[in-house]
Structure 1
Amino acid sequence: MVSILQILLLVLDIAQFIVIAHIIMSWLINFQVLNLRQPIVAQIWYGLNRVLEPVYSKVRSVLPQMGGIDFAPLVVLLGIYALRIVIQNNLPMFF
């Protein structure tokens, strides 16, 4: 059972990395450090959007409109951290 929980923690680490990469990449694109006309940048950006948009859209449907500020990535990241804390605090119960 501990192995399954460790695999779940690994999946949460990967999800956390993907969300943080998406946030940083969106900042770099908005500040014109990265350009979407570059093929590799566009492929990475559209791939991240394709993976994260279903999750973000569900979170956005719950959040109120904030006047152009998107808090969906922050809420998803906080959710990942919360799941990680719950799993780590309940890990001794499975020994």
Structure 2
Amino acid sequence: MGEAIVWLVNAVITLMVWAIIGSAILSWLFAFDVINHRNRFVNQLATFLDTVTRPILEPFRRIIPPLGGIDISPIVVLLLLQFVRILFNNMAAPSLIMLLG
């Protein structure tokens, strides 16, 4: 059970990392007119990624100002997520596995 919880936490963090990366790439593609919102699939994908990543990115966007028009909050959040993953795997995971098996 403990190993399953550790796997689930790591999987959720990994999915959030990929969602943030995908959202950033889509925003760049929109900014450089490579793709546009008129494509239904692209619009739905962008809306989904924005809905998933906004709750974690928005507090950092309020604190960190854009530098030269570039939003660096995704980079900060990615670093923070990696920090949380390492902290969880080194401190909480062994205890969970030992406690729950």
Band of TM-score, shorter chain: 0.7 to 0.9
- Alignment CA distance shift 1:37-1:70 (3 Å): same
TM-score by length of 1: 0.84
Distance change (3 Å), C-alpha of 1:25 and 1:88: same
Question: 1:9 and 2:22 equivalent?
Answer: no
**TM-score of the superposed pair, with normalisation by structure 2:** 0.80
Which structure ranks higher in relative contact order (CA pairs < 8 Å, sequence separation ≥ 6)? 2
In 2, Cα distance between equivalents of 1:20 and 1:70: 13
TM superposition shift of 1:58: 0.8
Could you give the per-residue CA deviations for residues 51-95 of structure 1, whole angstroms, max 9, x where no partner exists?
222222111222245342211111111111111111222234443
Could you tell me the percent identity over the aligned residues? 33
Q: Which residue of 2 aligns with 1:80?
A: 81
Change (3 A) 1:65 1:40: closer
Count of residues in correspondence between the two structures: 95
Q: Report runs of 4+ in structure 1 exceeding 6 Å deviation.
A: none
Q: Any unmatched runs of 5+ in structure 1? A: none
CA spacing shift, 1:65–1:29, aligned 2, 3 Å: closer
Q: Which runs of 5+ in 2 are unaligned?
A: none
Which deviates more from structure 2 when the two are superposed, residues 82-91 or residues 5-14? Answer: 82-91
Counterpart residue type for residue 19 of structure 2: I
C-alpha distance in 2 between matches for 1:67 and 1:24: 18
